[in-house]
Structure 1
Amino acid sequence: MNNDFWANQTNDENLKRAAMLKSFSVNSYRNLNADKISFKNKVNLFIGPNNSGKSNLIDAISFSSRIINSEKRESESAFLDELNKRNWGDLLNRKLAKPAKIKLEWVLDTSRLGYPDLSYCLEFMVGDNQQNFYITDEHLRFSEAVRNQSRPFDFFRCHNEELGLGKFSVRTRENRTAKIIDLKVNPRESVFRQISSLLDDEKFRLKLYPNFQPTVKLVQETFAAFHTYSSTVFELMAMREAVDYEMGARYLDRNGANLVNVLLYLDEKYDFIDQYTEVMRELIPGLERIKVIHASERKRSLRLIIDNNNYQLHEMSDGTIKAMIMALLVWSPEPATILAIDEPEINIHPAWLKVIANWMLRSPAGSQWLISTHSPDFLDSFTEAFVDGRVGVFVFDTNQPEQIMDLTPAMLEPRLNEGWELGDLYRVGDPLLGGWPW
């Protein structure tokens, strides 16, 4: 593999600005209640039985990113739209009577940027009809007090004192208390989607925005580069067909259908496809070349040349296409800041899973992985990195008081010293790893 190519990508400005997810807290979001789940900066594995909350956690973490990334017009509520997609009241823990609140809190690690860590909280009411769904607390602050401050600096805090009222802080000299500006905000939309309307206020525009904008932009860019995928929703039939050429397809869509256009974009900008072919050759030794071909004036498709034979994507297995998706997600020179994927192992051969796990561990810095898996073969490949602290393992069990357990190497030390791997312990149903329905 051309290591110089991959090393050069770590200099990309997007990676320099990236914030990582340090921890996440969730209360009453479906079946989830967990305080400060602490993540690793590389790979985080979620294991547990079906219906134990793994997919719900990924959905909860991505909730705010879906709002910020929404294509809804500013006059429409992306917050309410996301609730609608999740069947409104079904989002609340079924053990609670309505109305009740759901609370989500993200802590972003910005240490590489010279920032203190940032804490963003979104709390909202869930009721019996649309009028009873609104944000009750939204705030962005430094997660700890810095310098001579008695408490963490708030960039903004909205709705907690009065619904529809936002308090925005203006930083002053170190030894002086921050000035507070009160502004009206919409309780049925995130503040991050109200910046344009807030700029209409002269006090906000002149006194607050110059200080406020860089930090808010950092959070927006972090959430905007947060992408979630599920192996079960990739539209493989659509991917096998020729697609209309579209410029600027930087990231893979959730259904994967724009794979060809993303490869075209990356190849035009980085000369990527040769490097991509080299990576895929680790799975398909006879692979000579991957190329984009013109199926018609507007249509493009992929061709794989293997052992001197030409193959179209419609001739490739489901597992091969999903492996191609994984190769793109791992090795893209414009990686997402945070990548979450549900059950990547589906259709992929166990031997290939070991290669893909190795890709994740040796890929350029920049992407943080959140992976829900039932595959012991996949888990095996992360054992060494788990022991040396590069991989986090989180065990889900709704029958335990501690619903999500952060597994540590010390907990498994006797077994690991005997030569057991993570997947081995999963296969035999070791109580610490769980993962089995009975």
Structure 2
Amino acid sequence: MNQPLLRFIVTKNYKNLSLEQIVRLKNLNIFIGSNGSGKSNFISCLKFLKDSLTKIPDESRAVSSFEDAVAQIGGNRILDVSVESPARVRLAYCFSFSQNSQTNIPARDSGILDLKIFVNRDNARGVNIAEECLYSGDILHDSTPSTPFYYYKFHDREFGKGAVSVYDEPGQFSTTHFEALDNILTNFLGLTAIPRLLEDSQYPPENTPVYRIRRDLIELVSKWQFYNANNMDLNLIRMAEPKIGGSDIYLSLSGDNLPLVLDNLIQQDIDFEESINQAMKAILPKSRRLRPIRSGRLSLTVEWYFHDIKEAFYLNEMSDGTVRMLCWATILNSPVLPSLLVIDEPELGLHVSWMPILAEWIKKAARKTQVIITTHSPDLLDYFTDCLESVFCFYSEDKTHFSIKTLSKEMLNDKLEEGWQLGDLYRVGDPSIGGWPW
């Protein structure tokens, strides 16, 4: 992967997270910071976008996917407590876009989905889209002297109305103009509604630049995967026997489909079985072979063989840490990685001797896709000393709001030359690293 697919996020008035200054993400991103410093809020911005774009609305509750996604991250409490209500919360996401060789319209290498969400604290359902647009470039349009190319603008002049860029001539991809659209709902993300809006208009979808970009963007975001070590249900993983035939290639949030994922990945990639077994030998040298097997006629389980022991072991006989490491090995060594992989505190419950192994798996995955890891572990951080530019520290601006700074070798060169590792500096609360609540 040459460049990260998600370049940066900008927020304004969103909880305690102050990200108005652009901080560029990389393929590997290690987040550190004290509890309550905004790491989870950053990740909730990503979950919100995925849920808004990909979840099917619950018609029985008359709740849109956007409304449900907002409710999941706090509803009307997403507004910064220091900001007077009602107000607008801004969330802007910059992505890498592939260049369309058929078009001469510039700056197609990246684009920004810019949302302004109206929030009223006095109304439990007082959250709506106040403004939404998708435009080209990798800098925010209010800070650049040039005018970006807009794929669409919704609600910017009047609620329920907007405009979409349309090619001047069907089949000609050189110049565009704006055409008006009406009946744009404020409780749906406009990006999801574009097919319906274009079907009701006189403009064929394929005659709009947004048509292909929208498809690519939703496909990208739909493949984001989020994991939290606290949500891994070890008892459920040990006892689960998922049914044969499911198409799962990503581990579920609880991990209960582990045998099925292992089986599908082995069937899909001839080298994966050897890869996962090598990973297990790294943490348990006596490990001989691990494999998913049929349990009864229609279910799967995992059996595990060790050198000098004839009988197989099963997951319900393995330690918590071993089961956790098997989950991370399955996720990070998978031949089918998500477009963005987010893992909260993967070090939980693991022996310190496994930290270099876990760190290597993370680095290996980041060479193939974009990875975000949050951690409080100095033992794990030690093994990212060689990639300081990938470490992002969430720090307090005014004891209430938090921003992000990136580390660099220049900042820490003197201490590194003395033999300090990144985790050492984190342990002692070195102010150049941050991550401590004081």
Out of 53-62 and 66-75, give the one that drifted further. Answer: 66-75
Aligned equivalents of 1:269 and 1:144: distance in 2?
Answer: 36
Please, which of 70, 78, 96 is the counterpart of residue 55 of structure 2?
A: 70
Please, which of 80, 88, 91 is the counterpart of residue 93 of structure 1?
A: 80
Please state how far the C-alpha of 1:175 moved relative to its aligned partner.
7.6
CA spacing shift, 1:36–1:181, aligned 2, 3 Å: same
Question: Is residue 160 of structure 1 aligned with residue 119 of structure 2?
Answer: no
Aligned equivalents of 2:368 and 2:111: distance in 1?
Answer: 18
**Map 1:2-401 → 2, pairs under 5 A:** 20-72=5-57, 76-110=63-97, 115-127=108-120, 128-143=122-137, 151-172=147-168, 176=175, 178-206=177-205, 208-209=207-208, 211-245=209-243, 246-271=245-270, 272-307=272-307, 308=309, 309-363=311-365, 365-386=367-388, 389=389, 391-397=390-396, 399=398
CA spacing shift, 1:19–1:69, aligned 2, 3 Å: farther
Please state how far the C-alpha of 1:396 moved relative to its aligned partner.
2.7
Aligned equivalents of 2:287 and 2:436: distance in 1?
Answer: 38
CA spacing shift, 1:206–1:411, aligned 2, 3 Å: closer
Aligned equivalents of 1:133 and 1:402: distance in 2?
Answer: 24
Please state how far the C-alpha of 1:213 moved relative to its aligned partner.
2.2
AA matched with 1:369: V
Out of 19-28 and 358-367, give the one that drifted further. Answer: 358-367
| C-alpha contact 1:341 1:372 (8 A) present in aligned 2 | yes
| C-alpha contact 2:96 2:110 (8 A) present in aligned 1 | yes
Please state how far the C-alpha of 1:405 moved relative to its aligned partner.
1.9
Please state how far the C-alpha of 1:40 moved relative to its aligned partner.
4.1
| C-alpha contact 1:170 1:207 (8 A) present in aligned 2 | no
Please state how far the C-alpha of 1:357 moved relative to its aligned partner.
0.7
SS at match of 1:412: helix
Q: CA deviation digits over 1:360-404, x for unaligned, max 9?
A: 223473321111110001111011122xx4x23323335467632
CA spacing shift, 1:183–1:35, aligned 2, 3 Å: same
Out of 217-226 and 301-310, give the one that drifted further. Answer: 301-310
Q: CA deviation digits over 1:126-163, x for unaligned, max 9?
A: 11224521001111111269xxx952111111112111
| C-alpha contact 1:49 1:397 (8 A) present in aligned 2 | no
Aligned equivalents of 2:99 and 2:416: distance in 1?
Answer: 33
| C-alpha contact 1:46 1:396 (8 A) present in aligned 2 | no
SS at match of 1:431: coil
SS at match of 2:204: helix
| C-alpha contact 1:47 1:372 (8 A) present in aligned 2 | yes
SS at match of 2:420: coil
SS at match of 2:284: coil
Aligned equivalents of 2:31 and 2:22: distance in 1?
Answer: 12
Q: Which runs of 5+ in 2 are unaligned?
A: 102-107, 140-144
AA matched with 2:199: D
Scaled by the length of structure 1, the TM-score of the pair is 0.87
AA matched with 1:296: G
CA spacing shift, 1:199–1:247, aligned 2, 3 Å: farther
Please state how far the C-alpha of 1:266 moved relative to its aligned partner.
1.2
Please state how far the C-alpha of 1:191 moved relative to its aligned partner.
1.9
| C-alpha contact 1:42 1:367 (8 A) present in aligned 2 | yes
SS at match of 1:218: helix
| C-alpha contact 1:19 1:337 (8 A) present in aligned 2 | no
| C-alpha contact 1:47 1:396 (8 A) present in aligned 2 | no
CA spacing shift, 1:206–1:87, aligned 2, 3 Å: closer
AA matched with 2:362: M
Please state how far the C-alpha of 1:422 moved relative to its aligned partner.
0.6
Aligned equivalents of 1:180 and 1:204: distance in 2?
Answer: 9
AA matched with 1:123: K
CA spacing shift, 1:71–1:318, aligned 2, 3 Å: farther
Question: 2:104 corresponds to which residue?
Answer: none
Please state how far the C-alpha of 1:275 moved relative to its aligned partner.
2.1
| C-alpha contact 2:10 2:93 (8 A) present in aligned 1 | yes
Q: CA deviation digits over 1:190-227, x for unaligned, max 9?
A: 12322442242242435634x33221112112211111
Please state how far the C-alpha of 1:294 moved relative to its aligned partner.
2.1
| C-alpha contact 1:169 1:181 (8 A) present in aligned 2 | no
Matched length: 416
Please state how far the C-alpha of 1:343 moved relative to its aligned partner.
0.9
AA matched with 1:422: L
| C-alpha contact 2:57 2:64 (8 A) present in aligned 1 | yes
CA spacing shift, 1:225–1:267, aligned 2, 3 Å: same
Question: 1:6 corresponds to which residue?
Answer: none
Scaled by the length of structure 2, the TM-score of the pair is 0.87
Aligned equivalents of 2:274 and 2:56: distance in 1?
Answer: 33
Please state how far the C-alpha of 1:95 moved relative to its aligned partner.
1.8
Q: Over aligned residue pairs, what C-alpha RMSD do you find? A: 2.6
